[in-house]
Amino acid sequence: FALYLVGVLVLSMGVSFAYFSANSSVTSNGSVATNTAATIESKGITADGNIEFNNVDMYPGHTAIASIRVTGTGNNEPLMYNVIFNGSSTFTTPLNYTVYKSDANIDASYSCEIRQGRIGTSKTYYEECSGNNIESLGSPISSGTINNGSGKTILKNDEIMLTAPEGEIVYYYVVIEYPNLDANQNDDMGSSINGNITIEQGSEYQKPSISMVASTVSGNNNWYTSASVITNITTQTNNYEAYYCTTTNNSCTPDTQANVSDNSFTTSLSSNASPQKVCARVVDEYNQTTEGCSEAYSVDTVNPTISITSTSATENSISVTVSGSDAHSGIYQYRFSSNGGSSYTTVTTSNSSYTYTFNNLESGTSYNIAVQSVDRSGRTSSRVTRNVITDINYCPEGSTACNTILANKTISDARNGAITGTLTTNTTGTVYRVADDDGDSYVFAGAPTDNWVSFAGFYWRIIRINGDGSIRLIYNGNSTATTGEGTMINSSQAFNTNYDDNAYVGYMYGSTRANSYASTHTNTNNSSIKTVVDNWYRDHLLQYAQYISTEAGFCGDRKIASGYSGYGTLGYGTNATVYAPTSRFMSADWSWLGTQNPTLKCSQSNDLYTVSGSSKGNHALTYPIGLITADEVVLAGGFGGATSSNSSYYLYNNAYYWLMTPSYLVSDSIVGSHAGVFAMYPDGNLYHNWGNNTFGVRPVINLSADVTITGTGTMSDPYVVS
């Protein structure tokens, strides 16, 4: 290799003076740098270049540049070396050096001129230097100082060259400066620097290395609920690229570039039915490649699914059949709970379908069944729930007709609470459980087609099965096709001929113009409408009395409400009074409630009308017949208010007819005293009206709990009392 470029030491410009001595005379011939050729070899690396500074006068500010050409010959392998200055300096002042690196041979140099100055009477000498083509060298790669003494100064360590068969060439340019420190530098008088710039063998080049560590969450059966592989990279240089792939086989080609941060990257393993591993490859800037593979992991990151396909119940057990699915690790277990998930029973099975039975349960009780599936990775499905009611003998002992009617019915609790509107849908096959004074009533609501009864030569509709097992019926005329006036025994009847006293809100009543609630609401006198109903019973039903309950009774709720402006709570004479049923349907400002609260529990014992010999009520009725209540109308699908019409439920007959529920008594100087009672309006909505108005009459009776019936309850096959 030929020697390239000598270092010409030239002095840099200084703005202040530095000096050796005030009295000495120092001469200089321009500080010529002499050089000789040198070739150094280190594992395929050769260097050409040398620089010597001997017996040369250098003034502060002097700057010189030298270069060395380094050639790497080999089989495309990277080799490491250090660029060094090997020599000695007798300067007390450290000499600055700066190293540049280039792939090109650049003609760079410095030229310096000696300048003379004065400090007081003393002469000072320094040099002003300028560079030629220095900017073409680019940015420095290293800098430092050469200190007083002899030996080796590493100018740039851990240089790496990728050798080539034909030789790879790089140039280093070293600038050396004797700085102008603007201070007395007399100690440097007669000093010199001697040496050469060359290379020495560096460390062994290390190929990239890979270490792979897994971060996992264990499941069951050697499966993992999650797994990721962290690939840590160590390289001789930070300029590299990393690639990866995942495979269920022994190997794959890493072809996806990794997003490396802090010399590592993470690969998350996705769900798969087979074990997976990560293959990684790192290529550094010298095309040195290392590959590695992780261990294989069976990973399932997706929760299994489950559904309830069917349930069945007996009086003390519930069986639930579930279907589970998992596309990766597979079903491992099922979990069953009868308390909504507070506690579970676990069954280990891989079957896609499984039936579990809860035993020793309470009859007639609603259980919140909850199920989950678990896959082999240990992941659990979302909880699926279903409310299931254990079977119950819904009917009291001896209630033959009740058992027949409920045999194939769905029992719903949907109307056991606040009612927010009319019910117009076809509800055939469903009855609604609502609490009453004897237990649970089973109410027909909406537009059922299976609550028809043929009895005593007339057709009736079932309102509800009472809590004592008796069957409450409302008159519907001579055929199933009857509507309007034909569904009533009288189409023009006053509730009470008189209406100017609180007494007249009652189906039965006590003294008028009384001075107490008790005397006003005793059951001494019959209302006008009760007389009509009793007479009809005597003429048409008395011969069937053995089939009619005398125990069920009829509620005429006369409990008093409070909170209505201008209305007190006395309930007697002509005192303005609001009765409790109104408070369930109307607010204190007399607007109809958007949520109405009917009840089948009679609010006061003296408002439950029964006949003599009954074990409950006040035994005031002559015959076991009455009228439907406002609460029963709302539960059946009606609703209070002029905008709540309903022509699509079974109580609708396109006519006015009386209910037996009191509403209020208004008393003022303009209208006088008017007793109000609830009525059904022709559009099917619930409203109230003065008791002296004339509306229709639809009697209500209760079949005894022990009657036997046949039929299915439809228009063509109504229930018939045997």
Q: Tens digit of pLDDT for each residue in 204-235? A: 899 999 999 999 998 888 899 999 999 999 99
Residue 136: phi and psi, rounded to 5, are -70, -10
pLDDT at 251: 87
At 663 the three-state DSSP class reads strand
pLDDT at 8: 25
Mean pLDDT (whole number) for 576-598: 94
Is there a contact between 451 and 636 (Cβ–Cβ < 8 Å)?
Answer: no
Is there a contact between 78 and 127 (Cβ–Cβ < 8 Å)?
Answer: no
CA angle 249, 301, 231 (to 5 degrees): 55
Q: What is the pLDDT of residues 372-430, one digit of tens each?
A: 999 999 999 999 999 998 877 788 888 999 989 998 899 999 998 899 999 999 999 99
pLDDT at 683: 94
Is there a contact between 618 and 612 (Cβ–Cβ < 8 Å)?
Answer: no
Compute the distance between CA of residue 312 and CA of residue 306 in angstroms, rounded to an integer.
Answer: 18
pLDDT at 390: 87
Beta pairing, strands 452-455 & 719-721: parallel
Looking at every residue in the chain, the average pLDDT score rounds to 88
Compute the distance between CA of residue 463 and CA of residue 479 in angstroms, rounded to an integer.
Answer: 17
The dihedral through the CA atoms of 328, 332, 335, 336 has a sign that is: positive
The model's confidence at residue 244, banded by pLDDT at 50, 70 and 90, is: very high
> Given a cut of 80, is residue 665 above it in pLDDT?
yes
Q: Select from 55, 84, 57 the least CA-distant residue to 68.
A: 84
The residues near 93 (Cβ < 8 Å, ≥ 6 apart) are 178, 179, 181, 185, 187, 188
Helix (H) or strand (E) holding 404: helix 400-406
Q: What is the pLDDT of residues 45-90, one digit of tens each?
A: 666 665 555 545 678 888 888 888 898 888 889 999 999 998 888 8
pLDDT above 90 covers a percentage of the chain that reads: 70
Q: Select from 596, 601, 620, 622 the least CA-distant residue to 678.
A: 596
pLDDT at 30: 27
Among the residue ranges 53-57, 157-161, 173-177, 535-539, the one predicted with the least confidence is 53-57
pLDDT at 37: 34
Mean pLDDT (whole number) for 548-566: 93
> Given a cut of 70, is residue 308 above it in pLDDT?
yes
pLDDT at 52: 55
Compute the distance between CA of residue 401 and CA of residue 552 in angstroms, rounded to an integer.
Answer: 15
Mean pLDDT (whole number) for 255-284: 95
Token pair for residue 708?
A: 């036997």
pLDDT at 456: 97
Task: Tally the residues of the chain.
Answer: 722
Q: What is the pLDDT of residues 96-152, one digit of tens each?
A: 999 999 999 998 888 888 888 776 677 778 889 999 999 999 999 999 999 999 999
Q: 54: number of CA atoms within 13 Å, CB side?
A: 9
The model's confidence at residue 603, banded by pLDDT at 50, 70 and 90, is: low
Residue with the bigger pLDDT between 364 and 279: it is 279
pLDDT at 14: 26
Mean pLDDT (whole number) for 277-302: 94
Q: What is the pLDDT of residues 25-57, one digit of tens each?
A: 222 222 333 333 334 455 566 666 655 555 456
The residues near 241 (Cβ < 8 Å, ≥ 6 apart) are 257, 282, 283
- Is this structure's pTM higher than 0.85? no
Residue with the bigger pLDDT between 238 and 184: it is 238
pLDDT at 719: 97
The residues near 604 (Cβ < 8 Å, ≥ 6 apart) are 557, 558, 559
Beta pairing, strands 471-475 & 452-455: unpaired
Q: What is the pLDDT of residues 445-461, one digit of tens each?
A: 999 999 999 999 999 99
Beta pairing, strands 305-313 & 345-348: unpaired
Query: How many helices, marked H, and strands, marked E, lie in the chain?
Result: 5, 46
pLDDT at 39: 42
The model's confidence at residue 22, banded by pLDDT at 50, 70 and 90, is: very low
User: Quick one: 261 exposed, middle or buried, by C-beta within 10 A (0-12, 13-18, 19+)?
Assistant: exposed
> Given a cut of 60, is residue 647 above it in pLDDT?
yes
- Residue keyed to tokens 């010597």: 52
Mean pLDDT (whole number) for 165-180: 90
Token pair for residue 719?
A: 């229930």
The model's confidence at residue 604, banded by pLDDT at 50, 70 and 90, is: low
C-alpha Rg value of the chain to the nearest Å? 54
Compute the distance between CA of residue 219 and CA of residue 301 in angstroms, rounded to an integer.
Answer: 11
Mean pLDDT (whole number) for 537-546: 97
